[in-house]
Each structure stands twice: as C-alpha cells, then as structure tokens.
Amino acid sequence: VALLEREAELIALKRLLKEDGVLVIEGGAGIGKTALLGAACHQAKELGREVLRARGSELESGFAFGVVLQLFERLVASADTRKRAAMFAGPATSAEPLVRGRSGTVPPTDSSFAVIHGLYWLAANVAARKPLLIAVDDAHWADSASLQWLAYLASRLEGLPLCLLVALRPAEPESEGAALLAVRAEAPVVRPQALSLSAAAAISRETLGTSADEELCTVFWRASGATRFTCGSCSGALNSALGHGAR
Ligand SMILES: Nc1ncnc2c1ncn2[C@@H]1O[C@H](COP(=O)(O)OP(=O)(O)OP(=O)(O)O)[C@@H](O)[C@H]1O
Ligand SMILES: [Mg+2]
C-alpha cells in the first residue's frame, strides 16, 4: 500500500534503519501504525537486514514470552546446527531452553535475569551475523515477560547493528506499565496524524471507484478520526453541514 501523508514518519524510519537504535510509533486504532511498521520491515529487507516481527495480542498477553517466541522461534528452528550454536553462544545459552521449547528445563513463566540477559545476547548474536530489525506491533498487548526483555534490550542497544521498532496505542492502560514507559522514554516517538480530507477521499475513491462522491468521502474522513478540517475545496452546503472551521 502506498502510504499517503507519511513523509516525516518515513524519514524517521529511514533514519532508524540507517543509524540503528529504537523508535516508537504511537497512535490510536486505525491511524496507520501497522502500515508504517510494515513499510519499515519491507525497507529493512531491501537493505539486507534480518527482520524479526511480532505482535501483541489481547488473547495471548497472559502467555509468558509469547512475543519473544514469535520473534525468534522460527529463525532458530530453521537454523542449521552451526548457525544455532552461534546464536546461543556465550550468555545466550540461558535463553536456549525457552526458545527451543525444551519444556521442563525452564519454567514457562521464568523471567529471571538469566533468561532476559540470555535473550538479549541471542538478539546480539543474531545481529552480529546480519544487521537486525526487531519490530513489535501492538506492544500494549504484549506479555509482561517479553516487555521486560524489550525494555532491557532498548537500553542496551548501543554499538549493536540492531534497531528496534515498537508500535503501541498510548491510550491503552498497558502502555503506561513500567516496561513500556521505559522503552518510550528511551526512544524518539513518531505520532502519525489523521489523514487530510483529500487523502481520505483518494483512498475512498481508489477503493470504491466513482460511487464515492464528495459527501461519502467526507463521512469516511470524519470516521477515520480526523478532528481538523483541512480542505477548503468542499461545497458551501457540505461545509456548513460539517461545521466548517470547527476544530
Ligand atoms: N498513510 C496511509 N495511507 C494510506 N492508507 C493507510 C495509511 N495509513 C494506514 N492506512 C490504511 O488504513 C488501515 C488502518 O491502518 P493500520 O492497520 O496500519 O492502523 P493501526 O494504527 O495499526 O490500527 P490498530 O491500532 O487497530 O492496529 C489499513 O488498511 C492501512 O493500509
Ligand atoms: Mg495495527
């Protein structure tokens, strides 16, 4: 999808991929966080990065390390013995039972320092092989053990060929939890704004064709969360119906 009116956000993503570090995307439902995250992942692959992507889910937020497993499990499972040994070298070894699913060797809720630290080293080892993007969408629904690890990682990225991109809804109570607050404090934040009427109209017409008249486009635009009237080209009747100029 070609993203409209996201030039500044795309520049911030480009900078992240160039310079490494952390970036947070914040905004309400439907504002375009996943779309931006997707654009970053696409660009990262084109730049030759390893991309590990996961998303929090309301239904899975009780599963310890669910998001971490989404990130690493497949990569680890598909690696040959030599690559896997490199991934779990050094302190990363303490994360191996968790990521390789050797149940019984690590309690599923074990978010002890050794496991968190091991996961940090796993990320560092993966990044040492190939620059890495870790992208976590809907972080407000991520399980707390994964968030603890995310906060730990975010504060120790310096010098690693690794960037971390986190998208969240700031209005969700979980976004105010200690771990996510720490990540948010660590990072520059982009806050995509509601699209203008003309962009909403362009999307409406691309989707619906000519049946999307001016009035319908305006309805969609208002429903998209726009609070500002940014287009002066509407008819007088339409403007007064909408309370043109009202903020
Ligand atoms: N800048 C944009 N230009 C065109 N389409 C966009 C833009 N931003 C988002 N969209 C489209 O709007 C829809 C909603 O966007 P998206 O899913 O990224 O929102 P979100 O912020 O992730 O919402 P949620 O919090 O519910 O996950 C998607 O179909 C997406 O492709
Ligand atoms: Mg989303």
The average confidence (pLDDT) of the chain is 88
Beta carbon of 37 within 6 Å of any ligand 1 atom: no
> Mean per-residue pLDDT for 229-233?
44
Beta carbon of 3 within 6 Å of any ligand 1 atom: yes
pTM higher than the cut 0.85? yes
pLDDT higher than threshold 90 for residue 69: yes
Ligand 1 atom nearest residue 31's Cα: 21
26-42, pLDDT tens digit by residue?
999 999 999 999 999 99
Counting every residue, how long is the chain? 247
**Residue 147: its pLDDT value, please?**
96
Ligand 1 pocket test, pick from 3, 7, 11, 34 with the greatest ligand atom count within 8 Å of Cβ, gives 34
CA 245 / ligand 1 centre spacing (Å): 26
113-120 LR contacts (CB < 8 Å, sep 24+)? 116/148, 116/149, 116/152, 117/91, 117/152, 118/91, 118/92, 118/93, 118/94, 119/68, 119/72, 119/92, 119/95, 119/149, 119/153, 120/91, 120/149, 120/152, 120/153, 120/156
Query: Listing from the earlier edge strand, what are the strands of the sheet with 189-190?
Result: 50-55, 132-137, 162-168, 21-26, 189-190
pLDDT higher than threshold 60 for residue 234: no
pLDDT higher than threshold 60 for residue 48: yes
166-188, pLDDT tens digit by residue?
999 999 999 999 999 999 998 99
Q: Which of 21-25, 29-33, 239-243 has the lowest mean pLDDT?
A: 239-243
CA 166 / ligand 2 centre spacing (Å): 11
Beta carbon of 33 within 6 Å of any ligand 1 atom: yes
CA 36 / ligand 1 centre spacing (Å): 8
CA 33 / ligand 1 centre spacing (Å): 6
128-180, pLDDT tens digit by residue?
999 999 999 999 999 999 999 999 999 999 999 999 999 999 999 999 999 99
106 vs 72, residue with greater confidence = 72
CA 34 / ligand 2 centre spacing (Å): 4
**Residue 170: its pLDDT value, please?**
96
Ligand 1 atom nearest residue 5's Cα: 1
- In percent, the amount of the chain with pLDDT more than 70 equals 87
99-134, pLDDT tens digit by residue?
998 665 666 566 689 999 999 999 999 999 999 999
DSSP for residue 4: S
